[in-house]
Amino acid sequence: MTTLRQAFSAEMNAARDNWRQGRLDVAFAHLENAHVLGQRRLGWHFHVHLWMLRVGWAKRDRREILGQLWRLLLTPLGHLTGRLPIGNTGGANVNAFTPMPVRKELERVLRGEGMEGKSDKDLGD
């Protein structure tokens, strides 16, 4: 069974690997998964938004850059107030305050049931 830490690390490693290969959209999809998995831990949550900013910068996506700067400011406040929109994927394409449904594979990890058999193809590659 995959633990939350293992699943989060796997998503971040996949994001970095795809980043290095120039596959920025796939890297971002892994970061969205990492965001859902890690948003209840301040360090993980903040780290994901830094990486989302990095991808936005590489893509020269002004909306993503501004959205991630905003989210980096909001992240500590969200943790202090306990107002974290569960399931939110963290990108600038979604409202920062809107809860979203959690994908089944991620929900299994969050419930402690593991996350086996996921690949980049499942992320739209």
Read off the pLDDT of residues 7-17 as tens digits, 9 standing for 90 and up: 999 999 999 99
Residue 8's nearest CA partner among 102, 23, 32 is 32
Q: Record the tokens describing residue 99, joined without a space.
A: 């809860």
**Which tens digit of pLDDT belongs to each residue from 30-88?**
999 999 999 999 999 999 999 999 999 999 999 999 999 999 999 999 999 999 999 99
Q: Record the tokens describing residue 81, joined without a space.
A: 């107030």
pLDDT at 2: 80
Q: Is the pLDDT of residue 119 over 60?
A: no
| 49: number of Cβ within 10 Å | 24
CA gap 29, 9 in Å, rounded: 14
CA gap 93, 59 in Å, rounded: 14
pTM of the model: 0.88
